[in-house]
Structure 1
């Protein structure tokens, strides 16, 4: 089917700005979410299935999306988590030896509305200058006033709790039962590859629902605790914040990534804030302040830890900085077995610049074990 034969579609931003395009696969529909953009040249399938993107309309800056199809192993959760997709050129034909499905079919099976032929360079520049905001993509191109009214009813991301929408309902296990280490992981939007990285380091991981208590998780008798990535505002996650406080007070080994990093910051007493745009891409430069080395990292977050509060907190050591805007990208507790980062070491864009963090977690566990005579 030629692009000119596809149904007209649009993306309408909360401030009334409109960009026009075409419906991918001639699908009709309407979907709402916070519009954001990712600068990665590859990895679209991992992005679309990342629970951290739940509730967001994804604009891809790469001009061609779908050109290498999809592969069943290249997913970070059980289904697509983004609310919608906006791209420039959608590739209906794909070429990759191990691909088992086209992106078009993958999107259809997951009921995701997508639009192409959008001037994404102009759209990204607009979001960059005006900030992330709610938006709607729709094929109802002649119902602008109605779409504006519906969009006005959509809650903003600030203050929105979304971990409950993506977390597991029941605990489950990853890894070998006879592994050397036992890890209790709180799922507030965990990516599969994080769990695979832990299992690869001889860990038997029990994954718990987002609202699990310390009492429930400690019954597993874990060697360490992990707080996952995830979507939404960290401040409404009261149960997770209380859990992190207890783990820190008891001085149990604790590692957090992304949303888990923000929860740890809140547990220690540092506030978070919604960023103008957030960081979303696979080429974000980070400096490890301990080693002095630079890291190329994958990032996906719209909230961050307050810089001034963290720098002046007596219990916090800032360990990593984002070199583009100097935001905090990592911290550790000065007197407790706790550290966290704002980026994704499991995504391996460097490719292995940051995978040492999983090894650091194992070292923390080893060093925290009581010395026996």
Structure 2
């Protein structure tokens, strides 16, 4: 009995030792697995931090707030922005490829798409195949939200519009309306669809503009803000075909009355020195003025600037001899408020009789002026 009891004790001791070994092995395995997971987690966190740092576009130089950059300085800055966006897009792709199950993977995909679209709009047309591939992959995803699907579809249409730049503003506006109508069918309750249609109304000729604005005012799905802007647009259009009343003291002291320009064709240009599209349009305006001013073409500027000295310096540098209205109120500009101007540049044409005949003169400006001069 004593030997048997001793054997039992030895067996229990051995089993207890085996259990301890198993427990220690399990702990070691769990410890190693935890380390592996922690290593992977910290690697993903590190990669995400690198992506976020790479996404920071270079700030605009402080001196540009008071001094306009030269073309060379702006081109250098733009090149830096493009390089930053390209690097960030690549890092976003690298992140979601390496860590497809990370909570930030979906965000990385959206950021890559955002950065590539920005680069495309800045002239990187070579990125279109990559954008198309991304869109195809994302649209095939199960559970893609309607918001994401709308973003993809709207960006596709935006590229279609930009592709027609060489054909002019009229062709781009027509394509914008076509795309907006497609989105209206696919996303009838998305407010951005109606913002696009309002943009079409603003950029179209008088007949089309009135048609689209009236449609939006009546459409129950259109946001109230869009309805209000369309109402303002329709009020402005009431002035179309009637004599334009405009009188002021120009920034250089000249007394200006549109009625004094009868017998001449007048461009009324609502603009600002801080407005990129306005500045981009200026070479065309100057060229038209130089060619047709001797034949009876005049320009009246309505400046939305707040800084008088900046305005005077700019018009002197660019050799803009025509009169400028300035009250320093920017978007609160007297005539901007009176005529309901919500976007610049806005260009109106007044014929030889002093009648407002065109509220979208940017498109084919020189051709329109020649036609009016010939009347």
TM class, shorter-length? under 0.3
Q: Which structure has the greater CA radius of gyration? A: 2
Instruction: Report the TM-score when normalising by structure 1.
Output: 0.27
Structure that is richer in helix per residue = 2
